[in-house]
Amino acid sequence: HPPLPRASPLPSQTTTRPTMSEKFQGTVKWFSNRKGYGFITPGDGCPHDEDIFVHQSTVKSEGYRSLSEGWSVEFTIGNDDDGKIKAENVTAPGGGNVHGPRPQRHRRGGG
């Protein structure tokens, strides 16, 4: 029997939503360790000139994920559920892990 014709592969579901994989550089404007989010001021070459929201879950780090004001970072751009711009895949320059400060522990005086 002749071989059956192969069906062409279906388009991937991941291609239906555009994603930007291009890395951009920016500087951490502020970041709240307590709230787990902050904003990055984009650098030259970024298509957005307004500050970009960043959540701690998108920070590439071993251990505690945090950022500090004034740090240089690299990131890709995505959209949240409301269509607003947010930083994703946040790394140190060159793609390495970000080494954020450890959370401060409240010390209580004792006798």
Domains identified in the chain and CATH numbers? 20-91 (2.40.50.140)
Q: CB under 8 Å to 78, separation ≥6 — which residues?
A: 19, 20, 85, 86, 87, 88
pLDDT band with cut points at 50, 70 and 90 for residue 76: very high
- Looking at per-residue pLDDT, the higher value among 107 and 65 belongs to 65
Nearest CA to 25 among 42, 11, 50, 48?
Answer: 42
Higher pLDDT, 100 or 52: 52
Query: What is the residue whose two structure tokens read 């890395």?
Result: 23
The pLDDT tens digits of the residues spanning 7-44 come to: 555 554 443 334 457 999 999 999 999 999 999 999 98
In the prediction, which pLDDT does 24 show? Answer: 95
User: What percentage of residues in the chain have a pLDDT greater than 70?
Assistant: 71
pTM above 0.75, yes or no: no
Provide the pLDDT confidence category of residue 64 given band limits of 50, 70 and 90.
confident
Q: Give the pLDDT of residue 14.
A: 40
